[in-house]
Amino acid sequence: MAINVSDLVDRRADNRWDRTAVGDLLERVTWSTPDKTVIVGWDGAFAHPENERLTYKQANDSANRFANALLSKGLVRGDVVMLLCDNSVEAWLTKLAVAKAGLVCAPVNTMMAPDVLGQLVELVEPKFLVIDSERWATNADILGYHGVEAGVTITIGGDAVPGSSSFSEFCADSPDTEPQVDIHGDDIWQILFTSGTTAAPKGVMLSHHATHYAGMNFTAALTRGLRHESDIVQCSFLPLIYHVGDHLFNISVLLNGGTLVIGRKPDPVATARAIDRESVTCLWGGSPAMLGVVAETLDAEPDLDASSLKVAVYGWAALPPRTFASLRARCGDSLQALAIFGQTESIACHRFWPDSWSDLYERTAPRDNYVGVPSPILSSKIVDPLGVEITNTDDGPGEAVYRTPALFSGYYRNEQATRDAFAGGWFHSGDSCVIGENGQRIMVDRYKDIVKTGGENVSTLRVEAVLLEHPAVARAAVVGLPHEQWGEAVTAVVVTREGVVADASDIIDFARSRLAGFETPKRVEFVDSLPDTVGGKILKYKLRQSLAALYTT
């Protein structure tokens, strides 16, 4: 026990009674509502039947047993535990257990190619691996090559990996007392990996402090329309184990003393049914397209009761007003939509409430992706390539840069990338933005996705929004491809609606009537599906690679 009543600076709050530690969140709520449900696993999102629905006390005891079991294996403070898991109650408990033990969690996107997984293993050098049964066969060779053995298997989709224990077996004989380890808020508790949509993934170092700030920043926003903040029932069928959405939609629930409902994988139909069965109050919908399918499901199944839903959160693009109207027709006029704009490194986010700026929203969406204003704990400005702040709408786009306590601590073992990211004392997001009406920010594009054609810069997001207005288009991605005359040619890759026959020239004419000539796609390529992340973010680099020779052959 450290008592310091002499120093007024250079202090450390790392005693059990005053520290900031992610793993303490469960334990603290048990003092107020131990018998309240903290987590519900939808069908397929739990390995053991007893974990389908847990109270705060049950979850805290289970996480403690897992944490103590890890420590009994000789792991020490700062050791890395790698997870290769999709959403499940057991994976959720594992992350909190790792935090309780003072260890570092390194969850990996389960869709990563084995060779990329090998790079991540080399980077973080895990001392322990927790893996889903269904992920072992694909990755066994690369893990074996690097000498990584499975310590615990979450037995969804198969049996335990030979030589490993199931989740329940691993912690069956461990005590459920709180682990006695030293933790400070500045310690790194999690390394998340960037999505790799533009380059090889980097390890994003996240501290206990940053995670708390990120969660607290959204506790009020996600509980709009509720009598009490603890009434929140948050639902996500999108990844929370290896995605920074964990900070928003898991940590916020714990800070509010609410309930989290998780699905195994993205499933708009099951999401709609979960809203009904669990009286969900807040939904992480991911992309507007995902919310659109949820709305269609609610319309197709009128017996589903969606009146409990008060906040629907989305990102990555503007929400079409027709989708918002459809959701409100089923959920009620009290439903609020919330656009968030952030990234793994900085999840403090800009926020845009369409209902608060309804005239602006109705006039501009979905063509202009208004992302609103910085949240209260986020300092943000838009700068030109020389770092000079852009303050007027007419000054054109620039890069959004940030300062916030909800910021990552750096890229693990990559000093140069970290220095580049914090050039000038601000975090450089890589996102191109302009200042719109009333000081609201508009996201133009990722800098690396902007198409440079004939001396003009084209926002792919703007072109995609127009294409999605065409009645035949279900999904669209726009990329710039090498072109002898234009440098890059604006090219649309389109998935058509089921049963619809589309004509490329018709889609191009439709776009030309709504866009400038230089913004209009030179060609439309039809595909059955688009390569994307589990959350629905399109992997445009894969399209650029596969179509690189389109204008040269």
CATH number at residue 65: 3.40.50.12780
Is 150 part of any domain?
A: yes
CB burial of residue 552 (10 Å; 0-12, 13-18, 19+) = exposed
Indicate if the pLDDT at residue 268 is higher than 90: yes
Question: Residue 67 CA to chain centroid, in angstroms?
Answer: 25
Is 481 part of any domain?
A: yes
Question: Residue 158 CA to chain centroid, in angstroms?
Answer: 27
**Number of independent structural domains in the chain:** 2
Which pLDDT score, from 0 to 100, does residue 49 have?
97
Which pLDDT score, from 0 to 100, does residue 535 have?
62
pLDDT tens per residue across span 436-467:
998 899 998 887 888 988 877 888 988 999 99
Can you tell me the distance from the alpha carbon of 111 to that of 109, in angstroms, rounded to the nearest whole number? 5
Confidence of residue 362 (pLDDT cuts 50, 70, 90): very high
Can you tell me the distance from the alpha carbon of 305 to that of 308, in angstroms, rounded to the nearest whole number? 8
Average pLDDT, the chain: 94
Residue 243 and residue 266 in contact, taking contact as beta carbons nearer than 8 Å: no
Length of the chain, please?
A: 553
Block residue for tokens 């490993």 = 164
pLDDT tens per residue across span 379-402:
999 999 899 999 887 788 899 999
Can you tell me the distance from the alpha carbon of 274 to that of 236, in angstroms, rounded to the nearest whole number? 10
Identify the domain containing residue 495 by its residue range: 456-546
Is 440 part of any domain?
A: no
Q: In which order are the strands placed within the sheet that holds 487-496?
A: 473-483, 487-496, 523-526
Can you tell me the distance from the alpha carbon of 98 to that of 277, in angstroms, rounded to the nearest whole number? 31
Indicate if the pLDDT at residue 261 is higher than 90: yes
Report which of 423, 536, 437, 540 is spatially closest to residue 488, judged by C-alpha positions.
540
Is 283 part of any domain?
A: no
Indicate if the pLDDT at residue 404 is higher than 80: yes
Q: Which of these three, 207, 229, 256, is where a domain ends?
A: 207
Report which of 245, 248, 322 is spatially closest to residue 291, judged by C-alpha positions.
322
**Sign of the dihedral defined by the CA atoms of residues 492, 493, 499, 503, in that order:** positive
Return the number of other C-beta atoms located less than 10 Å from residue 526's C-beta. 14
pLDDT tens per residue across span 511-548:
999 998 889 999 999 999 998 876 667 888 889 989 98
Can you tell me the distance from the alpha carbon of 173 to that of 316, in angstroms, rounded to the nearest whole number? 45
- 258-291 as b/e: b if 16+ CB within 10 A: bbbbbbbebbbebbbbbbbebbbbbbbbbbbbbb
Can you tell me the distance from the alpha carbon of 222 to that of 313, in angstroms, rounded to the nearest whole number? 8
Residue 522 and residue 534 in contact, taking contact as beta carbons nearer than 8 Å: no
pLDDT tens per residue across span 2-53:
788 999 999 888 899 999 999 999 999 999 999 999 999 999 999 999 999 9
Residue 491 and residue 552 in contact, taking contact as beta carbons nearer than 8 Å: no
Is 465 part of any domain?
A: yes
pLDDT tens per residue across span 64-104:
999 999 999 999 999 999 999 999 999 999 999 999 999 99
Q: Which of these three, 207, 234, 250, is where a domain ends?
A: 207
Can you tell me the distance from the alpha carbon of 424 to that of 148, in angstroms, rounded to the nearest whole number? 40
CATH classification of the domain holding 498: 3.30.300.30
Which pLDDT score, from 0 to 100, does residue 3 have?
85
Return the number of other C-beta atoms located less than 10 Å from residue 532's C-beta. 18
pLDDT tens per residue across span 494-512:
999 999 989 999 999 999 9
Indicate if the pLDDT at residue 139 is higher than 60: yes
Can you tell me the distance from the alpha carbon of 268 to that of 300, in angstroms, rounded to the nearest whole number? 12
Can you tell me the distance from the alpha carbon of 25 to that of 223, in angstroms, rounded to the nearest whole number? 18
Confidence of residue 262 (pLDDT cuts 50, 70, 90): very high
Can you tell me the distance from the alpha carbon of 29 to that of 409, in angstroms, rounded to the nearest whole number? 28
Can you tell me the distance from the alpha carbon of 183 to that of 15, in angstroms, rounded to the nearest whole number? 8
Is 292 part of any domain?
A: no
Better-predicted residue by pLDDT, 60 or 347? 60
223, 226, 232, 238 alpha-carbon torsion, rounded to 10°: -60
Which pLDDT score, from 0 to 100, does residue 287 have?
86
DSSP states along 274-286: HHHHHT-SEEEEE
Which pLDDT score, from 0 to 100, does residue 5 have?
92
Indicate if the pLDDT at residue 196 is higher than 80: no
Indicate if the pLDDT at residue 198 is higher than 70: no
Is 49 part of any domain?
A: yes
Indicate if the pLDDT at residue 275 is higher than 90: yes
**Sign of the dihedral defined by the CA atoms of residues 213, 346, 350, 289, in that order:** negative
Is 497 part of any domain?
A: yes
Indicate if the pLDDT at residue 485 is higher than 90: no
Residue 439 and residue 446 in contact, taking contact as beta carbons nearer than 8 Å: no
Containing 314, the helix (H) or strand (E) segment is: strand 311-315
Q: What percent of the chain has pLDDT over 90?
A: 81
Q: Which of these three, 171, 186, 207, is where a domain ends?
A: 207
- Helix or strand or coil: residue 40? strand
- The pTM assigned to this predicted structure is 0.89
